[in-house]
Amino acid sequence: MKFGVLVNEGPFTHQASDSAYHFTKAALEKGHQVLRVFFYYDGVNNANKLSEPQSDDRNLVKMWGELAEEHNLDLVVCVAAALRRGIKDEILADGFRISGLGQLIELGMAADRTVVFGD
């Protein structure tokens, strides 16, 4: 199955980012294809390399980057949502790239299922 994943919430205020990460990881481990993970609204905060969680807390920004590297996963951050939140190329974490909403539309057309995490 070909999945698209849409993440609409940030990594520290909502369970959606954790759920999206674990869903994506499990789907890949089961042999499914994840065409792209698209970060929209506050979900773009998952790509902010300046975030520094406490040492005893999970680091979702780093975890997403490692998953992308391991599985050649396309992590796309919405340019408009990112700029509204002060996220530019200079503070984009490893594994993420900035692009437009066309990437989300393309994902919806190519995927068998698009799974949305967060409002």
**Cβ–Cβ under 8 Å, residues 38 and 29:** no
- What's the half-sphere exposure (Cβ side, CA atoms, 13 Å) at 67? 24
* 55 carries an active-site annotation: no
Handedness of CA 26, 27, 28, 31 (dihedral sign): positive
Catalytic residue among 7, 20, 37, 78: 78
The DSSP code for 41 is G
Two tokens, residue 92: 């984009």
Residues annotated as catalytic (active site), given as ranges = 78
